Amino acid sequence: MKIELVNRLVMFLSLLLAQVLILNHVHLMGVGTPLLYVYFAITFRRNFPKWLLLVSCFMLGLFIDIFSNTPGLASCVMTIAGLVQAYLMNFIAPRDSAADLAASIKTLGFSRFLALSGIITLLYCLLFFALETFNFFDMLMWLARSLTSAVLTMVLMLAIESVRSK
Amino acid sequence: MRNLLDFLYKYHHWLVFILLEVVSVVLLFQYNSYQGSVWFSSASAVAGKVYELESKMTAYLSMAKENEELTMRNIYQERQLDQLRRLYAEVTKDTTDAELKELEFLSQYKLIPAKVVENSIHKLENLITIDKGRKDGVEPDMGVACGNGIVGVVYLVSDHYSVVISALNAASSRISCAIRGRGYFGYLHWYGGDPSVAYVEDVPRHAKFKLGEWVVTSGFSSIFPSGVQVGKIEQAYNSSDGLSYKLKVRLSTDFGNVRDVVVISDKSIAERAALMQAARDSISFKQRQ
């Protein structure tokens, strides 16, 4: 448990710094920004204490918000992503698997991991950009930003995951 | 009672979830108001420090280009000043008077040099973080300019950092501008998209101007002194209600590459703002009677 918490903390800090120093400056075709920190919410193991999962997702979101001047935005959506992950993990994991199954390509297999991360990332991007453009809601722009960002995030995430699973 | 406790124990993560969401939503809506807390912004001590380190590391990459631009502008302005001095002397036959007036004008403003530590241009609501705060004399509502023109208006201030509403902020930035030498004024508004193009709205229909003329700050907004460069008029359109012109302006500031800025502190602003407030109060008091 202790090693797991240290691992989580390292992941928290590295995703936070990667996002605010590098990824927030990426704007593919002026619309797509990779939101890689959602990877933090996706990789919790099954039956991780739910309250801790929610609080740590919220904290990561809040720190991202503090750095990018969007208080409440990422923290709100990250908390939702954490909750969805906790339930989706039970649903997607094979029935006869271990109770503390980790969420990675190695343990879940490519297609199951793709489904888990795909659903959460897409949901995350749709909610994030809907809330961000609350005042100037433009359907096409919203879809374009959400989808390109979701695709970018997935590509990065799968690249990292395939390196980690070797 | 026991059942209730069991229920709460089993579903306590839902309570945590609701609590965290409420906190997020409060933050989300509170930040839009002017009293938004500086602790949750990039002007907070930790975020400011991280951005400052990053900006120090990347600053030298763009230094050469910026220096070149500033030198060019310096030379241009020196020549302009020289010409104006000569013209003034020809008209008034008096050179000492001009210098006195110049000094008097300049002493009205205090310029606080600052460095941009964080900046964005791709969002609809762009904000800039600078490395000077309350302890350096920066206050909310002060204007921020760089060597090439306007940058924005100070919004939140912490002890050592400030968040500036960039002129490229579609939701909150309205800077009062005028056409140089003509005096007609309007409001600078940015609609997102191209970071080098903005629009001046509410320019009266009878205004006379040429394409390619300069737009500068008007000095009415009590944030910027008059005459700070904004950009060149590129095109003129009719506004949607047909009552005024809308000017497309090519901004002179390269927002993608602002590094050194100055915060303009005008001692007379507070006085003017207080006078304006007093006038408003007395009008509303009369209306109530």
For B257-267, write each residue's pLDDT tens digit: 888 888 888 76
Element counts in chain A: helices (H) and strands (E): 7, 0
Closest Cβ opposite residue B27 in set A20, A72, A80: A72
DSSP code of B222?
S
In Å, how far is B180's CA from the nearest CA of chain A?
Answer: 33
Q: Does residue B5 belong to any structural domain of this protein?
A: no
For the segment A67-95, the average pLDDT, to the nearest whole number, is 88
Closest Cβ opposite residue B28 in set A24, A71, A136: A71
**Chain B residues with beta carbon closer than 8 angstroms to that of A75:** 20, 23-24, 27
Strands B175-179, B185-189: parallel, antiparallel or unpaired by DSSP? antiparallel
DSSP code of B221?
S
User: For residue A23, what pLDDT is reported?
Assistant: 87
Check CB contact of B122 with chain A, cutoff 8 Å.
yes
CB B208 within 8 A of CB B227: no
**A143-157, B178-192, B201-215, B217-231: lowest mean pLDDT where?**
B217-231
Interface test with A, best of B8, B11, B14, B17 (most A CBs within 10 A): B17
Question: Residue B120 maps to which CATH number?
Answer: 2.40.10.340
User: For residue A120, what pLDDT is reported?
Assistant: 93
Kindly identify which residue of chain A lies nearest to residue B25, measuring between CA atoms.
A72
Q: Which domains does chain A have, with CATH numbers?
A: 2-164 (1.10.1760)
Q: Does residue B19 belong to any structural domain of this protein?
A: no
B16:A68 CB<8 A: no
Residue B165: which domain range?
40-268
What ipTM, to 2 d.p.?
0.83
| Count of alpha carbons within 13 angstroms of residue B282, beta-carbon side | 6
Q: Does residue B280 belong to any structural domain of this protein?
A: no
Q: Does residue B151 have a pLDDT over 80?
A: yes
Q: Does residue B228 belong to any structural domain of this protein?
A: yes
Q: Which of residues 38-97 of A touch B (CB under 8 A)?
A: 50-51, 53-55, 58, 61-62, 65-73, 75-76, 79-80, 83, 86
Work out the mean pLDDT of chain B and round it to a whole number: 81
Kindly identify which residue of chain A lies nearest to residue B31, measuring between CA atoms.
A71
Check CB contact of B50 with chain A, cutoff 8 Å.
yes
Q: Does residue B72 belong to any structural domain of this protein?
A: yes
For the segment A64-81, the average pLDDT, to the nearest whole number, is 89
User: For residue A75, what pLDDT is reported?
Assistant: 92
The domain tally of chain B equals 1
- Please state at what angle helix B2-10 crosses helix B12-30, rounded to 10 degrees: 60
Paired residues of B244 in beta bridges: B204
Check CB contact of A29 with chain B, cutoff 8 Å.
no
Paired residues of B199 in beta bridges: B189, B248
> What type of residue sits at position B275?
L
Share of chain A above pLDDT 70, in %: 98
Q: Does residue B76 belong to any structural domain of this protein?
A: yes
For B203-250, write each residue's pLDDT tens digit: 888 888 888 888 988 877 667 877 788 899 998 888 888 888 899 999
For B51-109, write each residue's pLDDT tens digit: 888 887 777 777 777 777 777 777 778 778 877 877 777 777 666 665 666 556 656 77
Q: Does residue B258 belong to any structural domain of this protein?
A: yes
A79:B17 CB<8 A: yes
Rounded Cα distance between A19 and A43, Å, is 17
